[in-house]
């Protein structure tokens, strides 16, 4: 009965903060476990999922965070659908990115390299598109902070993957662009969660 009385908006805010917090913590632990060989300049973060030292923590982290993203997106959709059906569009895109992230962890690069690659590309691409969709939606609704952060998240994704010539900087791995491309969505998610706590409702 106590659980049923919890404000659903607070649950959304907690989930929104838990996703980036858990991702940073568990991936940070994975990097620590692989500190004797992992170098940001020469590896992908996915290499952590193929090492016996860090594979359990890293792959579990991606699957857990992927599931949390799916739950969060579904929660947002169900709680806001009556108020505005349009808001379901970016939330469905975010949900699909969660499915892709789960796939990245479920199919490590040393066990199913091709499947892993497809899921990885899908995750980073769809996450960027979710930011674009949220950005456009919130700008349309005159929620300028979340709108601009969403657009910045998409542009950040575009710049990191398409415009920066990493090899010319001596960086042959993709760990750095991977980390940079998810940083803006994490900031967006944290900002949205803070607004949920302040307004006691999901901003729509």
Per-residue pLDDT, 2:
41
Statement: residue 1 has pLDDT above 80: no
Per-residue pLDDT tens digits for 142-197: 999 999 999 999 999 999 999 999 999 999 999 999 999 999 999 999 999 999 99
The pTM is what? 0.93
Lowest model confidence (mean pLDDT) among 4-13, 20-29, 36-45: 4-13
Sign of the alpha-carbon torsion through 85, 147, 200, 66: positive
Which tokens sit at 128? Answer: 């960027």
Q: With contact defined as beta carbons under 8 Å apart, do 146 and 134 qualify?
A: yes
Which tokens sit at 173? Answer: 């791995």
Per-residue pLDDT tens digits for 29-44: 999 999 999 999 999 9
Statement: residue 100 has pLDDT above 70: yes
Per-residue pLDDT, 83:
86
Please state the domain extents for the chain.
Answer: 3-199
Statement: residue 5 has pLDDT above 80: no
**Dist. CA 55–CA 82, nearest whole Å:** 42
> What does the pLDDT average to over 70-83?
91
Counted residue by residue, the chain has a size of 204
The residue behind tokens 């992992």 is: 38
Nearest CA-CA partner of 166 in 1, 10, 40, 33: 40
Per-residue pLDDT, 6:
62
Per-residue pLDDT, 10:
84
Spell out the long-range contacts of 33-36 with Cβ–Cβ below 8 A and sequence spacing 24 or more: 33/57
- C-alpha count within 13 angstroms, C-beta hemisphere, residue 6: 10
More confident residue, 10 or 108: 108
> What does the pLDDT average to over 93-108?
98
Per-residue pLDDT, 82:
86
Per-residue pLDDT, 7:
72
**Dist. CA 18–CA 23, nearest whole Å:** 8
């Amino acid at each position: 009965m106590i659980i049923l009385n919890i404000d659903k908006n607070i649950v959304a805010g907690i989930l929104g903060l838990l996703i980036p917090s858990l991702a940073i913590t568990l991936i940070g632990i994975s990097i620590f476990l692989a500190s004797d060989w992992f170098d940001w300049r020469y590896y992908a973060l996915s290499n952590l999922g193929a090492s016996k030292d860090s594979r359990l923590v890293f792959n579990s982290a991606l699957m857990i965070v992927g599931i949390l993203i799916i739950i969060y997106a579904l929660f947002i959709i169900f709680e806001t659908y009556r108020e505005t059906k349009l808001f379901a569009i970016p939330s469905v895109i975010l949900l699909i990115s969660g499915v892709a992230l789960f796939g990245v962890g479920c199919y490590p690069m040393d066990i199913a390299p091709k499947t892993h690659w497809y899921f990885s590309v899908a995750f980073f691409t769809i996450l960027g598109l979710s930011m674009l969709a949220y950005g456009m939606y919130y700008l349309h609704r005159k929620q300028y902070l979340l709108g601009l952060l969403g657009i910045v998240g998409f542009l950040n994704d575009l710049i990191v993957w398409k415009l920066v010539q990493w090899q010319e900087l001596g960086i042959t791995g993709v760990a750095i662009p991977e980390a940079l491309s998810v940083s803006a969505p994490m900031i967006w998610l944290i900002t949205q969660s803070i607004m949920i706590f302040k307004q006691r409702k999901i901003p729509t």
